Structure 1
Amino acid sequence: GEATIIDAWSFTEAGDKSLRVELERAFNLTSDLGLVAEVFFTKGMGAIRAFKPHPFSPIRPALAERLNTAAEIFEKLGACAVEGKYDGFRLQVHMSAGKVEIYSRKQERVTHMFPDVVAGVKKQMRAREIIFEGEALAYNEDTGEFLPFQETITRKRKYGVSKKAEEMPLRMFAFELLYLDGKDWTNEPYHARRKKLTEIMGKGDVVALAKNVIVKTPKALQKFFDECVSSGLEGIVAKDLSAPYVAGARKFAWIKLKRSYSEKLADTIDVVIVGFYYGKGKRTEFGLGGLLTAVKAGDRFRTVAKIGTGFSEAQMREFHDSLSKISSKQKPAEVDSLLTPDVWVKPRVVVEVKADEITRSPVHKCAWKDNEGLALRFPRLMRVRTDKGADDATTEKEVVELYELQKHASA
């Protein structure tokens, strides 16, 4: 993976990994390993340290850690900004000289899918050049309610885009400013980024600021969380007022709290399919009976669950056909598994899974220690995450953290 390549570059110059952080930042700001390599080997570290965002080079998104309660978040951050957590498309918008491009969280160009967002950005954002982030989702202006992701996802299509945009217009809730008119804003503290984003946003019906409050007590944080959940949001994201935007990294500068944390397992899990089993009995005709899935552990994928429920008949057929196209004759080299499915699959497809709890298991390799790993108990498929790649899957570290949060919640 990219981390291994970047470490190798550091070793060639410094003999150790000491240059990794700065090289990684340059990559995270450009999503272009080739460019970073060319600059590093021809111009040196001075040029690497001078890297800044540029329109139409997508920036790898910052990621949030998670905690179990409002009190724990406040203990970690103290007084902080709290934003609503939206369940839609996380988009990164780039504009320069009147041209707008939109990128997904996987740095894919998806401009053609969101003509209404493009028009709104051109009309509302008072900037010559800008890069900002937000979440786009279907929104009912009449009731003030946010529509579920299952409805918003219907906007992701190749054909009939304009017609669907008219039927289901999106509202984009902007929450981060990354670049503005030649200035890199990622190094500025959150409170400054938010203030500037507020200043440059004009009136309109498409782009709006994400819900945001400054809280000074755990009680105020909990109150805002409850308000967000009652309006149809997933929960909240608390942000350190003084922290920079850390591209491509998961830090406690952002901490999320979701409504599902009140259940026994604190969150859904995004897992990567690494194999599938043929259907038996009533499922024989569909070709697929279950999935073998894994979480990400550095450059490895370690199994965490066999999933056999939550599929529709149509989905079983679709999975069989699509996964067969990326099948492997033997276990992929980056997969750690004690189980052997009927068909191995290259780790590409991400699915969201809900489970009753995380348990110790002698058959799954996630967080393997003393001949036991961690596994999902009673996992069921929720949806395919077409907006995420294998590198965006839940990590082994996160599963361990969820396991500890689960134990804490049940104590």
Structure 2
Amino acid sequence: MLLAETVDTSAAVAATRSRLAKVASLAALLRQVADATTARAVVSFLVGQPRQGRIGAGWRTVVELTPPPAASPALTVEEVDGVLDAVSRAAGKGSVQLRADLLTGLFASATAAEQEFLRRLLTGELRQGALEGVMLDAVAAAAAVPVDTARRAFMLSGSLPDTAATALSDGLDALAAVRLELGRPVRPMLASPAESLPEAVAELTPCVVEYKLDGARIQVHRDGDAVRVFTRTLREITASVPELVELVAGLPCRSVVLDGETLALTDDGRPRPFQETMSRFGATTATELLLSPYFFDCLHLDGVDLIDAPLADRLTALRRVAAGYRIPSTDSPDLAAATATLTEAIAAGHEGVMVKSLAAPYAAGRRGSAWQKVKPVHTLDLVVLAAEWGHGRRTGTLSNLHLGARDPDGGPPVMVGKTFKGLTDELLAWQTRELPAIATERTDWVVHVRPELVVEIELDGVQVSPRYPGGVALRFARVLRYRPDKEAADADTIDQVRALLPGADPNSGYR
């Protein structure tokens, strides 16, 4: 398949805000794909993430590739994918030059439009609106399979390119046969904000109310003696958390998949700052800062998959295998007991509580109403779009952040406000050091960046405002922390922000 066909489709998707039009363009291209390998490459390119992930070539290397473009399109998707494979495998002495030579040859074979597409793809700036939800719809349409079947296969496999290849090459039966596989992470089930604790309990009863910890999501797989640990973004961190590996290896079972949180605690048992927990995920050596696990779900136990079972059954399995490590919780509470659990969680230094329906299956990757989070304050996960140079005491540092909400239809993030409040000296120094590395445009006043960093914002509410493109603005927004455990695709959507408007349907942005 010619790369030019993918480039043209990318441009068509970027040119419309209509979800139906995006899906139609993508599906038309996918119907032309001849084999599974090409399907994986095309889907990877169109969602802006090469199949190989990071290929080892930095931003500067890519943007400085300026060979004269080819006069006419002849480069194929398969050739591009092959070169990216070779670049990602280059290692050892001379690898830097080898990568540069391979990429120079690739760009020399590309037309001007193809060069721009490749440049944006390899620098993480290809955002034409083919996000996961849109692409899943397109895969289902192209393969003539139900969207729900494609979605389930994606959530269990964790790979959109693999899901597309299965659907397009092997059809409905193969797609429906995708199952939970030990050692392959499942996309995590997500929660929606609750309007209030009484409403959440009333809606979800019979339910369980459990602490919402200020920790990091983990998913642990054990198959015999082999234990693997993954983050919420499905990144493996097994080597960084030996204490968690040892603990799970000692549980009374042959195989298990556990979902939970981990965090570092102070000597008196209170949670340490989130950043200290996250620092362990990148560690390569032993450390004295130990992580404690708190599990809240069991998706598999001793050969039996539980993902479709109700939460009540999954909790029975969890108590059987890891009762001593279950997150603090109250089963089937009345409102008084649920309120007491919330009070205890806040007093212990945690964020609030989760209210979960005991009848619900594990909807991997979905943010639905079966799990609802209750916090004493509103928070949103937003994308950093830019930062302004500070004044006064903050002169010389990047301070005031421009914040964007995710467009659920795959467009660029929608700006909803700015804030400089809550930024500690440590965070100011960090973002002044890190943001220029992902800059797309700089002036004497502001540095615009690639929309890839997620920051957690606390706010008093949302108000209607014509000042920003989304028609809403944040009220008294302040930075709580950066979220290195989340990607831009995990940020809250503009619909979720609008749902916080006074009088808005609280569920409108989450269902």
TM-score per shorter chain, which class?
0.7 to 0.9
| Mapping of residues 326-337 of structure 1, within 5 Å | 326-329=438-441
Unaligned runs of 5+ in 2: 1-130, 507-511
Quick check: 2:255–2:302 contact (8 Å CA) kept in 1?
yes
Residues in 1 aligned to 2:403 and 2:156: alpha-carbon distance in whole angstroms? 31
The Cα shift of 1:57 comes to 1.6
Number of residue pairs aligned between Structure 1 and Structure 2: 372
In structure 2, relative to structure 1, the CA distance for the partners of 1:224 and 1:283 (3 Å cut) is: closer
Structure number having the greater helix percentage: 2
Bigger mean CA deviation after superposition, 356-365 or 315-324: 315-324
Residue in 1 that maps onto 2:280: 155
Relative contact order higher in (CA < 8 Å, ≥ 6 apart): 1
Paired residue type of 1:243: A
Residues in 2 aligned to 1:182 and 1:35: alpha-carbon distance in whole angstroms? 24
Match 2:402 to one of 289, 292, 299? 292
Quick check: 1:147–1:232 contact (8 Å CA) kept in 2?
no
Quick check: 2:329–2:341 contact (8 Å CA) kept in 1?
no
Residues in 1 aligned to 2:335 and 2:216: alpha-carbon distance in whole angstroms? 29
Percent same amino acid at aligned positions?
31
Residue in 2 that maps onto 1:369: none
Q: Secondary structure at the match of 1:130?
A: strand
Residue in 2 that maps onto 1:72: 199
Query: Taking structure 1 as the reference length, what is the TM-score of the superposition?
Result: 0.83
Quick check: 2:208–2:333 contact (8 Å CA) kept in 1?
no
Deviations, residues 303-324 of structure 1 (Å, cap 9, x unaligned): 1111223334453343233222
Quick check: 2:212–2:353 contact (8 Å CA) kept in 1?
yes
Paired residue type of 1:302: V
Residue in 1 that maps onto 2:138: 8
Residue in 2 that maps onto 1:388: 486
Quick check: 2:498–2:504 contact (8 Å CA) kept in 1?
no
Residue in 2 that maps onto 1:320: 432
Quick check: 1:134–1:176 contact (8 Å CA) kept in 2?
yes
Residue in 2 that maps onto 1:135: 261
Residue in 2 that maps onto 1:258: 375
Q: Secondary structure at the match of 2:381?
A: strand
In structure 2, relative to structure 1, the CA distance for the partners of 1:314 and 1:258 (3 Å cut) is: closer
In structure 2, relative to structure 1, the CA distance for the partners of 1:190 and 1:314 (3 Å cut) is: closer
Quick check: 1:30–1:59 contact (8 Å CA) kept in 2?
yes
Match 1:111 to one of 223, 229, 238? 238
The Cα shift of 1:144 comes to 4.9
Q: Secondary structure at the match of 2:258?
A: strand
In structure 2, relative to structure 1, the CA distance for the partners of 1:319 and 1:227 (3 Å cut) is: closer
Match 1:123 to one of 237, 247, 250? 250
The Cα shift of 1:393 comes to 1.2
The Cα shift of 1:236 comes to 1.2
Residues in 2 aligned to 1:319 and 1:139: alpha-carbon distance in whole angstroms? 26
Bigger mean CA deviation after superposition, 397-406 or 35-44: 397-406
Residue in 1 that maps onto 2:384: 273
Residues in 2 aligned to 1:188 and 1:407: alpha-carbon distance in whole angstroms? 30
Q: Does 2:164 correspond to 1:37? A: yes
Q: Does 2:344 correspond to 1:344? A: no
Rg larger for: 2
Deviations, residues 315-355 of structure 1 (Å, cap 9, x unaligned): 3343233222222249xxxxxxxxxx833221100111223
In structure 2, relative to structure 1, the CA distance for the partners of 1:41 and 1:354 (3 Å cut) is: same
Unaligned runs of 5+ in 1: 261-266, 331-340, 367-372
Quick check: 1:79–1:217 contact (8 Å CA) kept in 2?
no
